[in-house]
Amino acid sequence: MELRSLGRSGLRVSPLGIGTMAWGRDVKWEEARALVVDFVEAGGNLIDTAPAYGGGVAEKMIGKLFAGGLPREDLVVATKGGFVIRDGKRVMDTSRGAMLADLEQSLRRMNTDHVDLWQVHAWGEAPIEETLSAIDSAVSRGLVRYAGVSNFVGWQLATAATWQKALGNRTPLASVQVEYSLLARRAEVEVIGGAEHHGMGLLAWSALGRGALTGKYRTGIPRDSRAAADHFSWFLEPYLQPRSRAVVDAVAKAAEGLGLTPAQVALLWVRDAPQVASALIGPRNRTQLAELLETDTKRLVAPIVSALDDVSGGPNGHRS
């Protein structure tokens, strides 16, 4: 894969990134290790995780990879702070103390002395200047190389980015991570424009519409799918409604005409969209990953992109 710059920063990331939200529950250790090995061999380097994923299990699995001999320099490790699982409960705390405590625990779990990209998991109740001061502290101590935000809407992104630019000794924000797919295009309203203005790269999570754009749910819910699992059905439910059917059908029709799979078409649309630095994928096995890696040398032609834009919400005003 040809690496891309993350916004205007010096960090280079692969156009596909591995997301680890399902690690530890749906993706067990042996499968996760095989996925990362295949991904790195294909030229990928970005792996995205968070303390909340599996209550820290996903980060521990990354640490096990490094302890098992995977060179640390092979991966750009992106994790988050401000949202954790404590005593089985979800806790959002973006205060300086909580953020730095999250980071220390993440480093310990991942068996590393630094995080390549540390992201504020979501906008919290603490003053944003306090939250961002944790980033500056972590960078100055060498614990973090680059910083970003996650799940921020347009005004939140602009507020954070502007604050960090106000003084020269603050860490500029390199990225914003947000859900973005043919079934979730809200980022085009303000987030993508804000990211472009502030020189931030976009990390698109759930690039396959939480799995709905693979087409596997067109005729029902397979028993072995995430939508059939009690712990994940809520995640798929919003995209299994009738209003999503036209988009899924259009993706499937385009795939048939192009000799691709629906998942590949949906991924290509996101990967090459304006301002996207990397499209995050969450394969559960090597077969799914191999299908997505096959997109490396493929591109969608402009008429197909335009048709998919139209059926999923209208023209993308950020396209040149």
Catalytic residue among 53, 146, 180, 217: 53
Q: In 10 A of CB 64, how many CB atoms?
A: 16
d(CA 132, CA 137): 9
Active site residue 53: yes
Bridge partners (DSSP) listed for residue 202: 176, 276
d(CA 272, CA 274): 7
Residue type, 8: R
d(CA 6, CA 11): 6
Q: In 10 A of CB 287, how many CB atoms?
A: 8
* Chain-centre distance for alpha carbon 236: 17
Residue type, 38: D
* Chain-centre distance for alpha carbon 308: 22
Judge contact between 284 and 22, C-beta under 8 A: yes
Judge contact between 18 and 11, C-beta under 8 A: no
Q: Which residues are catalytic?
A: 53
